[in-house]
Amino acid sequence: MKTTIKETQEKLRSGKTSPKKVVSSFLSRIKERNKEINALLSVFENAQEEMEKKDKNLPLYGAVFVIKDNILIKGERCTAGSKILEHYIAPFDATVIEKIKEKGGVFIGKGNLDEFAMGSSTENSSFGPTKNPLNTQRVPGGSSGGPAAAVADKMCNAGIGSDTGGSIRQPAAFCGVVGFKPTYGTVSRSGVMSMASSFDQVGPFANSVEDAKIIFEAIQGKDYRDSVTSDLLRKKVKNKIKIGIPKEYFVKGIEEDIKKNIEKAIAKIKGSDFEIEEISLPHTEYALPAYEIIMASEVSANMARYDGIRYGLEFERPKAKTIEEAYLKNRGEGFGKEVKRRIILGTYSLSAGYYDAYYIKAQKIRSLIAEDFDKAFRKVDVILTPVTPTLPFKIGEKIEDPLSMHLSDIFTVTANLAGLPAISLPCGESKGLPVGAQILAKRFHEDILFFATEKFEKIWLNK
């Protein structure tokens, strides 16, 4: 049975367990299962000693984290799932790591991911794919598949990932855990390797909505090292929540079992402090192509730093006769197919003659999608949708079909385009595989989002 942070804290503070027992149980699970699941790229055996040093009254005391391996922990390897950074050692802590340490949390390992967070299945890692612990023939989702699988498989009781177009929420749905993407700018990205800077946001994986809320409150806040961070969180909770159901999210292409589970959930919560209203988000059909163009454009810029001079496959330098050859060797051998694909697409979109036709047009669509949400939130408090159009797919099924793979994010990219907070939580299962429900709120209205999702969770689980 999965244990929440809250339950672990109560047992530790009452003396029913000890830091040694808590961490040992997770380390034993990792040793037993990680060879098969491949959720962790690094394991920290000193987690027990670290927990013993923590004050029992700190809010994250008892929280044992797996951190996505694109987030820096000083003195530890940080690969971003790429050969080009296979031997890179982080020189400092990311802000989110500093905050977790200060609030009492400890780290047990670094989680596997799609290379530089580019993917929806964690099959694009240079260090092998992660498997879904609920069915090892299936993917765990991505790009934060490692932390999601680790939480689901009881290797830890909390995780931290990054979400650019659904990379926390989609693997959370595939692995049957809670995954939360905060409002853009509420959590610092200092010390987090950039993929697409106007979308990237850091957030938690957890075994309950309450745990996700505890982690978010510990890591959020303004940071002078990240200029987009702010302290604009609202404090306004209603007793009666009006939920919007967008008709555009229940269209042809969504698997019938997912649709049925979401409809069952809507029927179950209707009337219990929830009011249901159908809404329209008319520009939804343009969200994925707009996201792909903007994301790839930002990827092409962010990946330029990995040139083999400052970062990269250093052993290739002596073999290269010119600086151009060094770049080509390092980037050619250091990057995988998906990273190269996105760099090429982004460079093309930003090039002369195509910038206006693609990039500028995509930014205009982004504005229209944000306006759709603004109009919707004048009528409703939160919006409920599926997280993914399909159940977890088989390993290898979509890896050679990038378009089909990218469609996995069709319901999640809108939150990133508009900078909204969104949470994925378990909503039943089909054929032994989990189904996720996504709930979104207005920017900086995490209070209403958590209030609504905690109510949803209690009703769904009959607590």
355-378 average pLDDT score? 97
Residue 278 exposed, middle or buried by CB count within 10 Å (0-12, 13-18, 19+): exposed
Instruction: Give the mean model confidence (pLDDT) for residues 387-408.
Output: 93
Average of per-residue pLDDT values in the chain: 94
pLDDT at 152 over 70: yes
66, 124: one domain: yes
The answer to whether residue 217 sits within a structural domain is yes
Q: Mark whether 28 is an active-site residue.
A: no
Do residues 403 and 309 share a domain? no
68 is catalytic: yes
Q: What pTM, to 2 d.p., does this model score?
A: 0.96
Q: Within a domain: residue 267?
A: no
Q: Among 361, 396, 415, where does a domain finish?
A: 361
The CB-side HSE value for 317 (13 A sphere, CA atoms) comes to 10
Please answer whether residues 115 and 338 qualify as being in contact, where contact means their C-beta atoms are separated by less than 8 angstroms.
yes
Tokens of 420: 């909204």
List all residues 6 or more positions away from 307 whose beta carbon is below 8 Å from its beta carbon. 326, 327, 330, 331
- Asked whether the predicted pLDDT for residue 316 surpasses 60, the reply is no
Alpha-helical segments (H) within 270-311: 287-302
pLDDT of 77 higher than 80: yes
Task: Give the count of domains, the chain.
Answer: 2
| Residue 153 burial (10 A CB sphere; 0-12, 13-18, 19+) | buried
Using only C-alpha atoms, the chain has a radius of gyration, in whole angstroms, of 21
**How many CB atoms are closer than 10 A to CB 15?**
7
User: Do 17 and 147 reside in the same domain of the chain?
Assistant: yes
pLDDT at 315: 52
Q: How much is the average pLDDT of 113-124?
A: 98
DSSP 339-392: HHHHHHHHHHHHSTTTIIIIIIHHHHHHHHHHHHHHHHTTT-SEEEEES-SSSP
If asked whether residues 323 and 411 sit together in one domain, one would say: no
CA pair distance 84, 22, nearest whole angstrom:
35
Averaged pLDDT for residues 254-281? 93
Q: 42, 120, 126, 143: which one is catalytic?
A: 143
pLDDT at 314: 60
Q: How many angstroms from the chain centroid is the CA of residue 230?
A: 20
The answer to whether residue 329 is domain-embedded is yes
At 20-47, the pLDDT tens digits run 999 999 999 999 999 999 999 999 999 9
* pLDDT at residue 143, rounded to an integer: 98
Q: Is residue 371 part of a domain?
A: no
Looking only at the bridges linking them, the beta strands covering 422-430 and 382-386 are unpaired
Q: Of 120, 144, 167, 190, which is the active-site residue?
A: 167
Dist. CA 123–CA 136, nearest whole Å: 13
**pLDDT reading at 400 higher than 60:** yes
Asked if pLDDT for residue 437 goes beyond 70, the answer is yes
Q: In 176-285, where does DSSP find H-type helix?
A: 209-219, 256-269
Domain boundary among 361, 396, 414: 361
Whether 77 is in a domain gets the answer yes
Domain match, 172 and 59 both: yes
Confirm whether 167 is a catalytic residue: yes
Same domain, 88 and 232: yes
User: CATH number of the domain that 196 lies in?
Assistant: 3.90.1300.10
Domain that holds residue 176: 5-237+386-460
Candidate list 42, 54, 68, 131, residue with the active-site label: 68
Region of poorest pLDDT, from 66-70, 104-108, 288-292, 317-321: 317-321
In a domain, 30, yes or no: yes
Tokens found for residue 24: 């040992």
Report pLDDT for 327: 83
Work out the average pLDDT over 49-68. Answer: 97
318 and 221 in a common domain: no
Whose structure tokens read 């409002």? 183
pLDDT tens-digit series, residues 84-102: 999 999 999 999 999 999 9
How large is the average pLDDT for residues 275-295?
97
Tell me the CA distances in angstroms from 254 to 249, 259, 300, 306, one per residue in order. Answer: 8, 7, 31, 38
> Per residue in 410-423, pLDDT tens?
999 999 999 999 99
- Residues 342 and 391 reside in one and the same domain: no
Q: Which of 361, 377, 395 is the last residue of a domain?
A: 361
The pLDDT score that the predictor gives to residue 190 is: 98
Helices (H), 390-463: 402-406, 413-418, 446-460
Same domain, 88 and 231: yes
| Residue 255, helix vs strand vs coil | coil
- Pick 416 or 231 by higher pLDDT: 416
Is 227 inside any structural domain? Answer: yes
Q: What percent of the chain lies above the pLDDT cut of 70?
A: 98
**Confidence category of residue 273, pLDDT binned at 50, 70, 90:** confident
Q: Are residues 406 and 345 in the same domain?
A: no
pLDDT bin (cut points 50, 70, 90) of residue 321 is: confident
Provide the sign of the torsion angle of the four alpha carbons 128, 97, 221, 212, taken in this order. Answer: positive
198 and 299 inside one domain: no
Residue partners of 371: CB distance under 8 A and separation at least 6 = none
Sheet containing 382-386: which strands, arranged edge to edge?
A: 40-43, 106-111, 64-68, 158-163, 201-206, 178-181, 422-430, 433-441, 382-386, 241-246, 274-279
| Separation CA 428–CA 176 (nearest Å) | 9
Give yes or no: residues 415 and 317 share one domain. Answer: no
Instruction: Give the position of tokens 């999608």.
Output: 369
pLDDT for residue 271:
77
Note whether residue 82 is domain-resident: yes
